Structure 1
């Protein structure tokens, strides 16, 4: 690794927002980093903008352009190209605080060296662009050393968090990709990582965010209907690999979602049963899963139009 950090930006038609993200990188007090941008098939002037920044930036700026494949394919490509020991995701509509990298490194170095192999990285909170509001639930202690599974499923602390994670770990846990699907769930990777690693979580804002009306957060139904295989795999793993962390209510809900998305990808009861070892709860909830599927079909036919053929815009 040539750098301490790789700051990664996946982007799609966000030329009007990228200067804000890049300016926040330029302002970092800690300078041992590179920036990798993967352009996921933009049709605006993103490439010209980045070429201009490459010519004048005082930091390493690497740019790749790929056909539109979605944010998670872009991240896999960014991880493969990264030369930083830590990998930090910065969505194109967000920005770093000036001392973000400096503080993340300081929190990492506060972990005893002998214990660091157990840690995936450092995670913090996000705040509004004006810095007046923290937008996510804080951790129960500061610092809090915990896995994603324990944090989310056992403590019930969710919401948007931002982290720097060891690049070598992300290379072991790439996002699963499916032909024709552009999206998945971030937590499919964090759940897998949590079986082996924990994070040092701190109650400090490390990024400022501005959620866009055309972003992932604002288009949940459309995203799920255009990426059913990714969501089916997520819920399958949730009720099998991560079952021990789920409360009964969550287990019921996730089982229904597994049935719902299995039907969307053409898996009937026999194929579903094989994937969950014919779990009695799955059998009991089959009717509820079918109802969820029928509701989706109604929405797609009478309210969604040609939703399956629409491009999914991502941050």
Structure 2
């Protein structure tokens, strides 16, 4: 018998029929079944659909929902997920990752034990499949923003649980025709401006980075998605808290704008003088992106 769902675990998937069963097994091991599993198939050409259709016939104690969409990249799968989530909370578990032991119960128990009306959700930890922590833990923090954590010296991927109503207060990820990448932290940074996250200093997800995943192919991403990256770097420059970060983002912005053949990038920049100063370095970085992006 299925329990009432309070949180949606959503999984964007592109040609991951070989890893999705591992994700499913981690969900089946959850003692607390008050969740739904939403799989957003981003135009897979393998047997993902056939595999999930088999699972839909089974009763694992939680609802499975499957949505197919044309391939558009991870951020577009997130857009579709947020449009279709109807639970209070949501958490993204990638198609090559596992939900940690008893993660659902930890999340819901923690959420219920705190006054959470003014918070956007929860920030927790990631580990690898062997239990080794990814990056730095959350220490003695009780609340933080994602940006604030990294600005104070934190590092490594963290697992985010968001209130669905709050994440849908903000614009969807922009889509650039012919491109398939916009960084997910676009929405997270916007949320940081108005809300904090409760800190749950426990592992919620066990991750595995695939050789063909976006993390391991960033040079190719830079090369193939220049408008998306120019948008993101321009966005970052509006919220950075250090000159060093501004300079780095500005060089990337110039490089991506040149790759996108945008003649108006100086006029469109939020920091025009710095953009002009970074043009020589942006040209150099552009050539590096072309060289590495074509060979990666």
TM > 0.5 fold call: yes
**Correspondence 1:262 to 2:265:** no
What residue is the counterpart of 1:34 in the other structure? 36
- 1:53 is displaced (CA, Å) by 0.8
Are the aligned partners of 1:107 and 1:122 in contact in 2 as well (CA < 8 Å)? no
Are the aligned partners of 2:5 and 2:33 in contact in 1 as well (CA < 8 Å)? no
Find 1:208's aligned residue among 206, 209, 227.
Answer: 206
Relative to structure 1, the CA distance from residue 193 to residue 46 in structure 2 (aligned partners, 3 Å threshold; closer, same or farther) is same
**Correspondence 1:295 to 2:294:** no
Are the aligned partners of 1:229 and 1:261 in contact in 2 as well (CA < 8 Å)? yes
What residue is the counterpart of 1:312 in the other structure? none
What residue is the counterpart of 1:189 in the other structure? 187
Other structure's SS at 1:48 match: helix
Find 1:95's aligned residue among 91, 94, 98.
Answer: 98
CA distance in 1, matches of 2:86, 2:257: 38
- 1:278 is displaced (CA, Å) by 5.6
Are the aligned partners of 2:5 and 2:87 in contact in 1 as well (CA < 8 Å)? yes
CA distance in 1, matches of 2:213, 2:271: 37
Relative to structure 1, the CA distance from residue 7 to residue 273 in structure 2 (aligned partners, 3 Å threshold; closer, same or farther) is same
Relative to structure 1, the CA distance from residue 298 to residue 98 in structure 2 (aligned partners, 3 Å threshold; closer, same or farther) is closer
- 1:144 is displaced (CA, Å) by 3.2
Relative to structure 1, the CA distance from residue 204 to residue 84 in structure 2 (aligned partners, 3 Å threshold; closer, same or farther) is same
Q: Deviations over 1:240-270 (max 9, x none)?
A: 2x03x2x2211111111111111111223xx
Name the Cα RMSD after superposition: 1.8
- 1:92 is displaced (CA, Å) by 0.9
Q: How many residues align?
A: 291
Other structure's SS at 1:139 match: coil
What residue is the counterpart of 1:48 in the other structure? 50
Gaps of 5+ in 1: 308-315
Aligned structure 1 segments of 4 or more residues deviating by more than 6 angstroms = none
Other structure's SS at 2:168 match: helix
Are the aligned partners of 1:11 and 1:91 in contact in 2 as well (CA < 8 Å)? yes
The TM-score normalised by the length of structure 1 is: 0.87
What residue is the counterpart of 1:311 in the other structure? none
CA distance in 2, matches of 1:139, 1:278: 33
Moved more, 21-30 or 291-300: 291-300
CA distance in 2, matches of 1:166, 1:222: 33
Are the aligned partners of 1:34 and 1:61 in contact in 2 as well (CA < 8 Å)? yes
- 1:193 is displaced (CA, Å) by 1.2
What residue is the counterpart of 2:127 in the other structure? 127
Relative to structure 1, the CA distance from residue 277 to residue 227 in structure 2 (aligned partners, 3 Å threshold; closer, same or farther) is closer
Moved more, 228-237 or 282-291: 282-291
CA distance in 1, matches of 2:156, 2:55: 32
CA distance in 1, matches of 2:54, 2:66: 12
**Correspondence 1:159 to 2:131:** no
Moved more, 169-178 or 193-202: 169-178
Relative to structure 1, the CA distance from residue 43 to residue 278 in structure 2 (aligned partners, 3 Å threshold; closer, same or farther) is closer
**Correspondence 1:62 to 2:65:** yes
The TM-score normalised by the length of structure 2 is: 0.92
**Correspondence 1:17 to 2:19:** yes
Are the aligned partners of 2:219 and 2:292 in contact in 1 as well (CA < 8 Å)? no
The structure in which a higher percent of residues are helix is: 1
- 1:299 is displaced (CA, Å) by 4.4
Q: Deviations over 1:74-116 (max 9, x none)?
A: 111111111211111011111112310111122222322xxx3
Are the aligned partners of 2:219 and 2:289 in contact in 1 as well (CA < 8 Å)? no
Relative to structure 1, the CA distance from residue 118 to residue 16 in structure 2 (aligned partners, 3 Å threshold; closer, same or farther) is same
Are the aligned partners of 1:73 and 1:177 in contact in 2 as well (CA < 8 Å)? yes
What residue is the counterpart of 1:239 in the other structure? 237
